A and B are shown apart, each in its own frame.
Chain A
């Protein structure tokens, strides 16, 4: 039972990170129809921002904030420079553009910084564990869960209560109609990228705490998995992205915890195959988006 609870919390922590990443992807996709491959590079950028901030003696909390701000700024800049010229084109065109942007950033990181990992010290207060009942629970796990919950809550409030948030939801439903209603397209799109940058930054910090180092490819694999989580949840649906992220987290942690040793090496293959099997039965994902045929 303890083992199960322990794994349950692990799954919540990992799933939460995927959910944050997936949500960032979904916010952009719902407005623009773009699947942003370069989302992972925003995570990586957060890592490097923190690394250099610490190098220059910036206090730890401020360094984290710098990291998130950097990712946010980069996300908005990315849209201005790279994605605006292909704004109204097909999903494939935008996806390829973002793939190229992602590759260019990898190579820039490699050449300008280093191909090798840069270590980032995780504060001692975070590496320990707290005892709750009879369980030892990692501080980082708890923090991840807490940060995820707060982020999701804050975003929900923003989308439901603020005027800009409501405009964003309208744009996610039907961008053209939203524009006819006087919603400022550039503002909405920039905000979407800004939000995705903040979420990528936060997810980047959580990921960093788990690994303790940053390298040019840090964000690539988690974002690939987040893509799959988003499709699992239902492409275009924000709540679907969160649900998909948590499901993927639970599948991965569950397999790691309960697979026999001999097949443990196959866990990535098994988890992704499970997801594709789900899609076989629900091709639209779990939260399907309805589209009228006229």
Chain B
């Protein structure tokens, strides 16, 4: 298949609009105004760069980072070192190598070197941080902030220690800042809807589901982490060349907090939010800063108060978190508000001929060979062996706590089996991580539906499709995704956010997403749970089509006996981790062991009697 670029047309248009919204007023100010407003605007643009850079990682991954300011500090430090006049450098940084002291670069070259060095440092750090989840990751970024600050202070001689670096050429003029800020904003917007951005947003919405469609979560995070760090470094360098003097303390908690407040108030998950938050907070801070030295309101004198600005920021963020947790824009981009940027139904490709050749049915057999899973002394699954050829349905039943979901987890790779082997034909997949197993032909759905809630139905399926067809362009992916949605009869819901769909529609979407990877085997964990009779009837139709139409092998865990008995070619019964019966519906119904497991020995005997 031809490699074509993955570009979402809306994203490109939206990025241009965002850029213009920033550029036009700033150019007007540059052309018409003079004095302090030029400085304020330049400062705003530097902050905008920093906020948009933070958003690339935190907005798309959902992991709040306190560490981006450390990359700003590094960026400032490196770019300053590259551009300060050699004579001054010799006295300021006596321990630096001679070659560096003698070097004297222009701004573009200095920025380029800064970006590369910061990117490499971020890559090394990111290998560890991107493996952490949620709050642990946030705390690790906090550690990073402290590490870098203390390194810069400790490395006196290479740096100026905790003293100010001075004599930095003033090169961040308003037009330069504008160019760099707009570029950063455009990159952030395009990244959000790029292939990598889509996959990262999927991991933000649901970690386990992202793995189940083959996404390697740490490596997707790493891409955003490095990009975000490089642009943070850029913002730091811009700041250094704006201020001409800085000390390491300026890139510490206060700046970190300001940047985070801007992003969170605007909308953590939105690039438009970065812009809105930066504008709002810049205005508020300008007003508060003026009142910091005391204020004469005519009738009352307000004395000088330390930290009015910080208190103001705190109150704004608390108000935001109490009343509008997702920030001003939430997950929305500017496209939502400008009708001409919104995707129209007529924009969606109408030609929905299948890309994948589904007439060729899969072949193969999934073998579970004496799989065990122990938690300490407890055997949750005890040497269970099963076989599932394609085109067959295997039902897995058993009382609560009998190890069904654990067994499913061992096959899907979310649990590490402690013994036994799982193979697909001759490929050993035992103990592989979930995202690798997804690529080897095993799809799954979850007991509690796990969708990418704030992504559209279309994006849910596209995210999975890009895993199967990495080279496919956006157009072709859309066609294929719509085709899958049509198969599940939810094509008309393509542009709706997954979280807004009804229960039955969500189940269908989850199956459509699982099918996107063209699995040979599909594991369904209680697909009928919580469904009413007509929904269950629908589901039966879909499952039958999966087997007869697509030729998949299904492994179904469910408590709905009617569904299991009607559907399955074979039924396996687990009790306390052991396989106690395997056979047709009739065989299982006859089994004494099964009755005992479900009813207890005494009741079982009474029924037989």
Contact = CB atoms under 8 A, between A and B. Distances in A.
Nearest to B138: A95
Contacts of A235: 135-136, 139
A273 B318 contact: no
B133 A283 contact: yes
A293 B525 CA distance: 11
Contacts of B310: 103, 106-107
Contacts of B167: none
Contacts of B146: 224, 268, 272
Nearest to B264: A96
Nearest to A37: B142
B272 interface: no
Interface residues of B, number: 54
Interface string A255-294: 0000000000110110011011101100111000010111
B321 A96 contact: yes
A231 interface: yes
Interface stretch (A53-61, A83-91, A130-138, A184-192): A83-91
A90 B134 CA distance: 10
A276 B142 contact: no
Contact of B139 (A33, A99, A228): A228
Nearest to A102: B314
Contacts of A115: 306
B174 interface: no
Q: Which of A89, A90, A92, A106 has the most CB of B within 10 A?
A: A92
Interface string B127-170: 11101111110111011101110110111100000000000000
A268 B153 CA distance: 11
B476 interface: no
A93 interface: yes
A275 B325 CA distance: 32
Nearest to A270: B147
B292 to A, nearest CB: 12
Interface in B168-219: 208
B499 interface: no
Chain B residues touching A, majority SS: helix
A107 B147 contact: no
A95 B314 CA distance: 13
From B143, B150, B525, residue with most partner A Cβ within 10 Å: B143
Contacts of B446: 293-294
Contacts of A266: 150-151, 154-155
A87 to B, nearest CB: 11
Interface residues of A, number: 48
B260 A283 contact: no
A200 to B, nearest CB: 18
A111 B142 contact: no
A100 B136 CA distance: 19
Contact of A224 (B142, B306, B317): B142
Nearest to A34: B135
Contacts of B135: 29, 33, 35, 91-92, 95, 231, 235
Contacts of A86: 321-322, 325
Contacts of B134: 91
Interface in B30-86: 62, 64
| B125, B325, B446, most chain A CB atoms within 10 A | B325
A82 B268 CA distance: 21
A212 to B, nearest CB: 23
A10 to B, nearest CB: 21
Given A266-B151, A283-B132, A294-B446, A272 B143 contact: yes
B409 interface: yes
B105 interface: no
A96 B260 CA distance: 9
B136 A294 contact: no
A279 B138 contact: no
B311 interface: yes
Nearest to B319: A100
B331 interface: no
Given A96-B321, A107-B306, A280-B128, A294 B448 contact: yes
A227 interface: yes
Nearest to B409: A293
A95 B409 CA distance: 32
Contacts of A210: none
A292 B153 CA distance: 44
A284 B155 CA distance: 32
A104 interface: yes
A97 interface: yes
A156 interface: no
B305 A268 contact: no
Contacts of A176: none
A92 B131 contact: no
Contacts of A107: 306-307, 310-311
B314 A35 contact: no
A276 B314 contact: no
A266 B151 CA distance: 6
A276 B139 contact: no
B150 A103 contact: no
A127 interface: no
Contacts of A290: 375
18 contacts: A90-B325, A91-B138, A95-B64, A96-B317, A101-B314, A104-B314, A110-B307, A111-B306, A265-B155, A269-B151, A272-B143, A279-B131, A283-B136, A292-B405, A293-B415, A294-B446, A294-B447, A294-B448
A-B pairs, 3 with minimum CB distance: A265-B154, A107-B307, A280-B128
Interface of B: 62, 64, 125, 127-129, 131-136, 138-140, 142-144, 146-148, 150-151, 153-156, 208, 257, 260, 264, 268, 305-307, 310-311, 313-315, 317-318, 321-322, 325, 375, 405, 409, 414-415, 446-448, 525
